[in-house]
Structure 1
């Protein structure tokens, strides 16, 4: 599971950030001052840190340098009320991967986190094995019992989404938003059609992709 640290001294803002990011399936930890943040950074490896600059005890610039010295691949998104060009440039020079000026849109934060993690996830997960399935993510190829399954691009995206979010129930609207995107103009019957195709093509999905009555769908594995 992707691990995210939020370093933010405004407790209400940090709790809202945590809520939005946990909804996306991330493992989120909060630090409300620089000392706590430094201790967490020293003793844990995070995939991404959302880092406020103006923090008690240890400021964000100090923490940014420490994060990058421990693991340069950890993605860091700076959040700051200071949006002047010199501040943004200074942040990038210290190794920040993104810079957001407060007040922050939570939807934009979720999107930026997702974009920053794409390269990280690709480095970590080259191949997925689940039951008798094997997925080659780099080449978007799927094998079941060593036989290649030919999927359309959206069938593949939907399949991969379920695999990465096992044992969670998603409504048709959720799936449209997360797989097809905000700019999709079709209707939810598109989801049903793609679910049917996945069950027809992949025996593992025929057995494990469950319909939750009046709610949606879930890839449910009894032993997990």
Structure 2
């Protein structure tokens, strides 16, 4: 599932935006200012950024400029209370793709996010191939060669998330937030249990392995 970075210093706005995006099938990560957003972008796979203009430490103008400098193909959506025409023009000149003024309709926000992802063709690939193992995000089916394997939903989502970006390290907290949701009240050690089950299921299957990165979390390594 695509991951959306929401950068806004207003905790209520972040909570509302993330709630509607997660309900619409997206994973979310949050930042309270531009500098924190840049750090998250550098350490986390992000498909789109929703950013406020008026933030402390680093404002949205600077964040937009830095993100666009780092990645010309990253969709950016400005969400702000400042709606004057010159500000919109400045945002577009700095590289934002869309602009939504507060107060906003969360449903409209979700529609704009989907439209941007579609424009950038993000999330359109629904099948991941790992050697003989194929993961189909539309049907939640796993096939190994000609054989089908049925996985519990969370095991499938965890494996698919790791397989989307082979080699990237995810912390337990990131995986909990992106798969179980930020409101999950259980122990994040549930990740360890699911990883153990996945390793056992695919122990004799070539194509990939799930590695533990001591002190950090997990990553999936695809075989050559």
Q: TM-score, normalised by structure 1?
A: 0.56
Name the residue aligned to 2:40.
Answer: 20
Q: Secondary structure at the match of 2:37?
A: helix
Query: What is the alpha-carbon distance in structure 2 between the residues aligned to residue 205 and residue 118 of structure 1?
Result: 33
Flag the 1:140–1:169 CA change in 2: closer, same or farther, 3 A: same
Aligned length: 182
Name the residue aligned to 2:136.
Answer: 136
Deviations 1:159-185 (A, max 9, x none): 111101321223333322222121222
Name the residue aligned to 2:109.
Answer: 98
**C-alpha displacement of 1:222:** 6.0
Query: What is the alpha-carbon distance in structure 1 between the residues aligned to residue 189 and residue 115 of structure 2?
Result: 28
**C-alpha displacement of 1:114:** 9.1
Match status 1:49 vs 2:76: yes
Q: Secondary structure at the match of 1:218?
A: strand
Query: What is the alpha-carbon distance in structure 2 between the residues aligned to residue 23 and residue 207 of structure 1?
Result: 22
Query: What is the alpha-carbon distance in structure 2 between the residues aligned to residue 205 and residue 216 of structure 1?
Result: 22
**C-alpha displacement of 1:205:** 7.8
Name the residue aligned to 2:163.
Answer: 163
Q: Could you say which structure has the larger radius of gyration?
A: 1
Q: Secondary structure at the match of 2:219?
A: strand
Query: What is the alpha-carbon distance in structure 1 between the residues aligned to residue 182 and residue 118 of structure 2?
Result: 18
**Paired residues for 1:1-224 under 5 Å:** 14-26=34-46, 46=73, 48-51=75-78, 59-60=87-88, 76-78=98-100, 83=102, 98=109, 117=117, 121-122=122-123, 124-202=124-202, 203-204=204-205, 208-221=209-222, 223=224
Q: In structure 1, list runs of 5 or more residues that go unmatched.
A: 5-12, 68-73, 90-96, 100-111
- Give the number of the structure whose residues are more often helix, by fraction: 1
**C-alpha displacement of 1:27:** 7.2
Query: What is the alpha-carbon distance in structure 1 between the residues aligned to residue 193 and residue 207 of structure 2?
Result: 14
Q: Which has the higher contact order (CA 8 A, sep 6+)?
A: 2
* C-alpha RMSD of the superposition: 5.1
Q: Secondary structure at the match of 2:138?
A: coil
Query: What is the alpha-carbon distance in structure 1 between the residues aligned to residue 179 and residue 115 of structure 2?
Result: 15
Query: What is the alpha-carbon distance in structure 2 between the residues aligned to residue 206 and residue 222 of structure 1?
Result: 5
Query: What is the alpha-carbon distance in structure 1 between the residues aligned to residue 91 and residue 188 of structure 2?
Result: 45
Deviations 1:177-222 (A, max 9, x none): 2221212222233222211211122244895111233433221236
Name the residue aligned to 1:9.
Answer: none
Q: Secondary structure at the match of 2:183?
A: coil
